[in-house]
Amino acid sequence: MTEHKITTPLTDEIIGKLKAGDTVFITGSIYTARDTAHKKMIEALESGKGLPFDIKGQIIYYVGPSPAKPGAVIGSAGPTTSGRMDPYTPRLIKEGLRGMIGKGLRSKDVVDAMIQYGAVYFAAVGGAAALISKTITGAEPIAYDDLGPESVKRLEVKDFPVIVVIDKHGNNLYEIGKKEYAGKYSEVRG
């Protein structure tokens, strides 16, 4: 497992270096969107309107941050369950999305699109939402204001901590971990 410091947008070179299990610190712009925003983005694509931001090489963080306290850029910003975005994600990857941050498992369709187009899935630690928000230096709503906290925002981040869960080859940390655990403790189970 390796540690990387990367800057957005993601390039094929950056994605090629990331392996399942690596720790990554992201600096630059990332975008927020949850399931309703994803649905609106797909509807926009299907109607020929395009997306509210240039998705090529970008990372979407699955989060609906809480309101900012006075003097803060953003409130608590912990990840939401990624599987809720799975119906929409393959299309966004095809359009150029190259990174996603969330928690939990992804569908086979999402993993297949990641392998086909070269994308990576990161996990953020859910229990560290208040700490994660300290790495966010700017937050600007850019689309779907009617969704409130779930609107699409551009976040500026500095050393935003994540772990590579699924790399561009489909290597999945959740599956690797289960196999290692089963092998390590097979003697104990007898």
Length of the chain equals 190
Pairing of strands 136-143, 152-166: antiparallel
Pairing of strands 23-32, 152-166: antiparallel
- 38 in active site: yes
* Active-site residue identified among 38, 40, 98, 153: 38
Give the integer Cα–Cα distance in Å for 186 and 184: 6
Q: Give, for 92, the enclosing helix (H) or strand (E).
A: helix 89-95
Q: Give, for 182, the enclosing helix (H) or strand (E).
A: helix 173-189
Contact, 144 vs 31, CB < 8 A? no
Q: What is the CA radius of gyration of the chain?
A: 17
Spell out where the chain has E strands: 3-7, 23-32, 59-61, 99-102, 120-123, 136-143, 152-166
Catalytic residues: 38
